[in-house]
Amino acid sequence: MTAITFDTLKFVETLKQAGVHEEQAKGIATAFKDASGEAELATRQDIRELETRIRETELRLEAKISDSKAELIRWVVGVGMLQMTLIAALLLRLVPN
């Protein structure tokens, strides 16, 4: 992240030309510099890096979702086969020979 560069002298001169007293102009310039110095701006590079990290996270999540889906399918098939086996065993016990 980068900070804003701020020319306080030019700012004070502009305020003085607009009719603001010098002490007030200096105070306003100082307050503005302090306020703008606290803000961090993202550069294009920062945004590209963030987009890359978001994409990497997205790919990891897609892989986890795919793994979870495969595991869920295995469980459903396994439970289905177990149910069919149990039903077949019960039917064989109920049917007289």
**Chain centroid, CA 24 distance in Å:** 42
Q: What pLDDT score was predicted for residue 6? A: 72
In this predicted structure, the answer to whether residue 1 has a pLDDT above a threshold of 90 is no
Longest dimension (CA), the chain: 112
DSSP state of 41: B
With tokens 């992240």, the residue in question is: 1
Each residue of 36-76: pLDDT tens digit?
766 677 789 999 999 999 999 999 999 999 999 999 999 99
Q: What is the pTM of this model?
A: 0.50
Each residue of 8-23: pLDDT tens digit?
888 888 989 999 888 9
With tokens 């701006």, the residue in question is: 41
Q: Amino acid identity, residue 6?
A: F
Q: What pLDDT score was predicted for residue 4? A: 61
Exposed, middle or buried, 28 (CB in 10 Å: 0-12/13-18/19+)?
A: middle
Q: What pLDDT score was predicted for residue 95? A: 84
Q: What pLDDT score was predicted for residue 96? A: 78
| Secondary structure class of 2 (helix, strand, coil) | strand
